[in-house]
A and B are shown apart, each in its own frame.
Chain A
Amino acid sequence: MRALRSSAVAALAAATAVTAVAGCAAKNDGKGGGGKGAIEVTATDSSCELSAKEFPAGHVRFAVQNKGSKVTEVYVYAPGDRIVTERENIGPGTSAEITAEIKAGSYEVACKPGMKGKGIRQKVTAGGKGATAKRDPKLDAAVAAYRTYVQEQADQTLPAAQKFADAVKSGDVEAAKKAYALSRVGWERTEPVAESFGDIDPKVDVRADGLEKGQKWTGWHKLEKSLWEEKKISGDDKKLADRLITDLKDWQKRVGKAEITPTSMANGAKELLDEVATGKVTGEEERYSHTDLVDFQANVEGAETAYELLKPVVAKNEPALAKELDKQFKAIDSLLDDHRDSKSADGFASYDTVGKDERKELSDGVNALAEPLSKLAAAVATTK
């Protein structure tokens, strides 16, 4: 993804004026300050100063100078911490330029000395027509916190997925089986966001029946089939393990840029339960490994996180709904607890041991939670 964005920026710069770019470069290595119209960002280890905090919407350039002692990075965030643009690895004493198309509205510019944490933030405003309507700051905070959660899930998934991939590559079927379900948890917790990148999901989480004509089967479920159904690891599988890591890294890089709004968060929570209702409760999702309950739990956890973050607003707008959701989340957690198995590598019973009556009970529990959850979007959308 990094390569893709750089080339886009380069193309954009080339289309406007090659000389301007050259001019910028010449000036940037001197006493700072970008080309004409650029907003100067001066970063140190403890500050992040901007030459202007209000500017016209449109094609905006930020000329960054790192006067600190640590490597830094600079982000431009839309409300809800959606990354509009960012530039990493700006070394001490060096300069860089960031370019972006910015719509009218409120944003935050963050310098992150040491390339860690939330960074030192400055509020900025892009002016002009079509400024986005003001939203309850509590909802912006919920979206920002949810975005952090989503990023954490992606960050934590990589090592777990690497462990799985390593086991596959070493040809160790048993170790790979043990690592399989756990490598999926972060993905399953944030699946609606992950799926908003339409190109990643078909590479990592597609099932045999979801393949388009001519599409090569890659990702978790192909390896699942090899491990449980064929009970052996082929040379091709080992390559697929590397491919899975590459694709997941792409997800990890891009997840912060997903479009998230309070209503999409709320509907995402409902979609996680839909995932359970259509794929997990039937045992279709993990048809070879029968680790459906691990995914089930992860989907519920992801939905619960989104709900908990929106809850301050929901509890105010629709107290009865909040009460019902609290109750139903508790109920589904307790239902899942009935199927925990301390002897299993992932903590849950194999789904093929879950009987028809118990599946009905789980299905009823999912419906009981998903129905009020479908009302969550309305409860946050109507906020004034």
Chain B
Amino acid sequence: MTQDDGTTTEDTKAAQTADGHAPSRRSLLGWGGAGLALGAVAAGGTAAALRTGGDAQPAGADATSRSAVPFHGRHQAGIATAVQDRLHFASFDVTTDDRAELIALLKEWTKAAARMTAGDAVGDGAVGGLAEAPPDDTGEALGLPPSRLTLTFGIGPTLFEKDGKDRFGIKARRPDALIDLPQFPGDNLDKTRSGGDLCVQACADDPQVAVHAIRNLARIGFGKVAIRWSQLGFGKTSSTTPDAQTPRNMFGFKDGTHNLAGTDTAALDKHVWVTDGDAKDKAGWMAGGSYLVARRIRMHIETWDRTSLQEQEDIFGRNKGEGAPVGKKHERDTPHLKSMLPTAHVRLAHPDSNGGVRILRRGYSFTDGTDGLGRLDAGLFFLAYQRDVRQGFVPLQKRLAADDALNEYIQHVGSAVFAVPPGVRNADDWWGRELFA
């Protein structure tokens, strides 16, 4: 961002650090030489332009991969905002039973999250502190741009009640929509990859930036929370920007063609955001929030790859190359569901087969190496946001679990559900304030 006097905001920021401010990742870029500084300038400019909207950045905005997504707004970023390419999702158990301590942690987390999403280091930074003590920030994101990092925070059912115990005096405020998911046919859930009291979804265009964020939050949380499980993801499998090219999943098919667009505010209000009306009385704190279902779906890659192209396309109900629905030419042509097999994935998942219900998908592919039998441990880390899980994921998954032809090639092995509160409004606000206030 070039200013009138020819200096850049980055230069200014670098100069400020001499006064004792913690160096930010971007300001370090400013020091890193002309080549790097140029990139930083571009990033700063885009970020500033995007911030003028005040509310969360609209998904339609064509942000560059280096820019920052505003942290504050009515809704949390990382839901309807443009999907980034990388994910580190973490589920936490709360290990303290002290309400005040939990609140203090949430405040500290929020502060760190605001800094990291802006591209700044946590606390006093990764360098320049006391030589005898470990730095506040772990440092692996030093010199990297914000990379559109978003951190999205959620609360699991077990925070309200566990083993019949009202752990933090919030049991009475558990929303009806935050249900315990039912057992679906075919589920093979590993409890060490399921559930959790809290979650943080970190999405970024650079995996190192996403991992850095979770690592620092976990570290801040030691003694109050412990990581229960986490999942890395790559190659977004859903797009909230339909004008962009639709990504492919690990089966090689385009995924997310008919996903909700981040710019379609009417559809988001109808299907994704909890309204004031939904959230009266005990769950009033959820207005502007959403509900998240996370499922680790293992794909049987090797058997799929031995399946004929015809069968693969029949199972999905779309062709593999273009992504066009059966009998149609183009990806975005309206599907004729009756032309598809009754068990075709797209037919069963389509809103027309589900009373118009839509969910906002934000899943990622994953591969965690091989499984010891030489099989690729890969699949889809399914993330879906909706206004009410009882009308969104549950009926949809019931239908898919019963009839989807794809079930022969996939298995749900991890599962969790979270209430995702509304956005953090300003610097004094914090994750979960409405619930604990």
Question: Are A381 and B133 within 8 A (Cβ)?
Answer: yes
Question: Are A267 and B222 within 8 A (Cβ)?
Answer: no
A356 to chain B: closest residue by CB? B192
Rounded to whole Å, the gap between the CB of A258 and the closest CB of chain B is 17
**B226 contacts which chain A residues (CB < 8 A)?**
360, 364, 367-368
Question: Are B130 and A369 within 8 A (Cβ)?
Answer: no
Question: Are B222 and A367 within 8 A (Cβ)?
Answer: yes
Question: Are B223 and A367 within 8 A (Cβ)?
Answer: yes
A370 to chain B: closest residue by CB? B222
Question: Are A374 and B130 within 8 A (Cβ)?
Answer: no
A47 at the interface (CB under 8 A from B): no
**B188 contacts which chain A residues (CB < 8 A)?**
none
B134 at the interface (CB under 8 A from A): yes
Question: Are A371 and B223 within 8 A (Cβ)?
Answer: yes
B95 at the interface (CB under 8 A from A): yes
A378 at the interface (CB under 8 A from B): yes
CB-CB under 8 A for A381 and B222, given A364-B95, A368-B95:
no
Rounded to whole Å, the gap between the CB of B172 and the closest CB of chain A is 29
**A371 contacts which chain B residues (CB < 8 A)?**
219, 222-223
CB-CB under 8 A for A377 and B133, given A364-B95, A368-B95:
yes
A351 to B134, CA, bound (A): 31
B132 at the interface (CB under 8 A from A): yes
Interface of B is mostly: loop
Q: B132: which of A324, A360, A367, A378 is its contact (CB, 8 Å)?
A: A378
Question: Are A267 and B95 within 8 A (Cβ)?
Answer: no
Question: Are B132 and A381 within 8 A (Cβ)?
Answer: yes
**A370 contacts which chain B residues (CB < 8 A)?**
222
Question: Are B130 and A378 within 8 A (Cβ)?
Answer: yes
**A367 contacts which chain B residues (CB < 8 A)?**
222-223, 226
**A266 contacts which chain B residues (CB < 8 A)?**
132
Question: Are B223 and A263 within 8 A (Cβ)?
Answer: no
B226 to chain A: closest residue by CB? A364
B224 to chain A: closest residue by CB? A368
**A372 contacts which chain B residues (CB < 8 A)?**
222-223
Using a CB-CB cutoff of 8 Å, which residues 312-360 of chain A contact chain B?
324, 328, 360
B222 to chain A: closest residue by CB? A371
A375 at the interface (CB under 8 A from B): yes
A132 at the interface (CB under 8 A from B): no
**B95 contacts which chain A residues (CB < 8 A)?**
364, 368
A328 to B98, CA, bound (A): 14
A374 to B219, CA, bound (A): 11
A382 at the interface (CB under 8 A from B): yes
B274-302 interface code vs A (CB 8 A; 1 in, 0 out): 00000000000000000000000000000
Question: Are B223 and A381 within 8 A (Cβ)?
Answer: no
Q: B130: which of A324, A360, A381 is its contact (CB, 8 Å)?
A: A381
A114 to B193, CA, bound (A): 65
Question: Are B134 and A374 within 8 A (Cβ)?
Answer: yes
**B222 contacts which chain A residues (CB < 8 A)?**
367-368, 370-372
**A328 contacts which chain B residues (CB < 8 A)?**
223
**B134 contacts which chain A residues (CB < 8 A)?**
374-375
A378 to B133, CA, bound (A): 5
A364 to B226, CA, bound (A): 6
A360 to B92, CA, bound (A): 13
**B223 contacts which chain A residues (CB < 8 A)?**
324, 328, 367-369, 371-372
B216-233 interface code vs A (CB 8 A; 1 in, 0 out): 000100111010000000
A330 to B306, CA, bound (A): 57
A380 to chain B: closest residue by CB? B132
A and B contact pairs by CB, cutoff 8 A, 12 listed:
A266-B132, A267-B132, A324-B223, A364-B93, A364-B226, A367-B226, A371-B223, A372-B223, A377-B133, A378-B129, A378-B130, A382-B130
Known interface pairs A263-B132, A371-B222, A377-B133; 16 further A-B residue pairs with C-beta atoms within 8 A, sorted by A's residue number: A266-B132, A360-B226, A364-B95, A364-B226, A367-B222, A367-B226, A368-B222, A368-B223, A369-B223, A370-B222, A372-B222, A377-B130, A378-B129, A378-B132, A378-B133, A381-B133
